[in-house]
Amino acid sequence: MNVPLKILHLEASARDAGSIGQALTAGGLVYKRMVVHDSNAYTNALPQFRPHILLCDGHIPGWEAHEALALAQQTLPGVPFLLVTHPVSEMFAVSMLKSGAADYILKENLQQLPDAIRQCMKAVEHNLQDKYWQLFQQHPIPMLVLDQLTNNLLDANDAAIAQGYTKNNFTVLQTGELTAPVPGNNHTKGKRRKGPEKQRANAADTCLTVHPILFDNKPANLVLVENTTISGKRDIDWVSSQLLSEKLVAVTSVQAQEQEREEIGKELHDNINQVLNATRLYLEFAMVAEPGLVPELLEKSYKNVVQVIDEIRLLSHKLVAPSLENTSLVQAISQLAANMCAVTPLKLTINTEEFDESCTDGNIRLTLYRIVQEQLNNILKHAQSSCATIVLRTLAGYITLTIQDNGRGFDTGTTPRGIGLRNIMHRTAACNGTARILSAPGQGCTLEVIIPARKNGRKVYAAERRSDFFK
């Protein structure tokens, strides 16, 4: 490496720190290392030193390696974390790797450390390359990468290809011939050029921006072909907003999945696991108990098994959403409600008479399904309700969802939002929607969700403002 590799090393033993430094040098690494010996120095060094890679001893007095890893992930996400330690338990090593550590090296095998570091940095480089390549490909403005010496095309993004050019076309065009298209325009103002079938806007409507870059370690020019017409800018703005929305949906979905997994893990541990352990004890007692006690122990075991089956059924429905490509949203919600009512005393009423499902896309349908699922789970867990109502309708370019229960309610000003409500808010925001909770102690709870409708991939423009629904 031409640039010294910045290494932050959390190490309890000065002697081991010296041995590790010798191994790094012997392995041919060019590096700058900062060695710290305690949690305070490590905490301060992370944002100040900003290392390229982290090395951590597995035995820091008064501190856990898991804490060091978590702090690194929070402060410098994406920076590789290597555990360099004396022998540890297999369980500890596996838990560190599952938590995000890149690798672990035993101090008895320090000759392996330089290669392990190189592998980590290669992985980081590949991740960065993938990230920037995706940004390049997904950008709504047509972009080209040209060799600075030969002007040959090295790469072109999807937006450039989508305008009717091919990579072969680009190799025979001069930079001055490139023009950006005007959506919906079937005529050019100037002379039509040979090559692509699609028409292109006049060069006067095109702005070329050139940025010198390195591409595969070679000097290159990044050329942005921008349409300066009002319609062109509007189209780019629309595409950009779509990309942003899709990315937000993806990020939100991941966050929601992680939160749901955590919640399901707690349910498995706190409920199902406890009931199964109790059942195991009942059965063990039954094998050695007096004959007169056996029927009672078997009956308790039977009731516990039935309870576990019901809880697993609920969890399975929560984990697996129906295929909304083959099943309508109304049918999916109705089936969800039926499954829940089969194992609870809750009475559910569903009203979808004013709902037009053609004004939804796949993201909206899945979002609405998950919101209904989440809120019904909230009602079953916390509300102590006897009945609830779900109303789904389409109105003035928006889809509205209202879920109301007659439970105990809560003070929205003082009660913190749990995972379920946070998931609902995140999912709604990802669809450019609005959600709010209306509740008070003893007065039940109402969830109101409003999401812009979409038809054939386009927004259905509203005749009324969204705020009009929240009156």
Helix and strand counts by DSSP (H, E) for the chain: 13, 16
Question: What is the model's pLDDT at position 6?
Answer: 92
Q: State the DSSP H helix or E strand holding residue 345, giving kind and residue range, or none if neither.
A: none
User: Which one, of 281, 254, 309, 286, lies nearest residue 423 by Cα?
Assistant: 254
Assigned token pair, 13:
């033993």
Question: What is the model's pLDDT at position 387?
Answer: 93
Q: Which option is the CATH number for 5-136: 3.30.230.10, 1.10.300.10, 3.40.50.2300, 1.10.645.10?
A: 3.40.50.2300
Question: What is the model's pLDDT at position 197?
Answer: 34
Q: Which option is the CATH number for 139-228: 3.30.450, 3.30.70, 3.40.50, 2.40.50?
A: 3.30.450
What pTM did the predictor assign? Answer: 0.40
CB 444 within 8 A of CB 405: yes
Q: How far apart are CA 276 and CA 269, in angstroms?
A: 10
pLDDT along the chain (471 residues), means of 10: 81 92 92 92 91 91 90 89 85 80 87 88 70 69 80 78 55 45 36 36 58 73 67 51 51 55 65 80 83 87 84 64 71 86 85 91 86 88 90 89 93 71 79 86 92 69 46 47
Q: How far apart are CA 201 and CA 192, in angstroms?
A: 10
Query: Look-up: residue for tokens 């041995």?
Result: 19
Segments making up each domain of the chain, as ranges: 5-136, 139-228, 246-320, 322-471
Question: What is the model's pLDDT at position 227?
Answer: 58
Q: Which option is the CATH number for 322-471: 3.30.565.10, 2.30.110.10, 3.40.50.1820, 3.40.50.410?
A: 3.30.565.10
The 10 Å CB-count burial string (b at 16+, else e) for 211-239 is eeeeeeeeebbbbbbbbebeebeebbeee
Contacts with 284 (C-beta within 8 Å, 6 or more apart), sequence order: none
How many CB atoms are located within 10 Å of the residue 461 CB? 9
Q: What is the sign, positive or negative, of the torsion defined by CA atoms of 58, 63, 67, 68?
A: negative
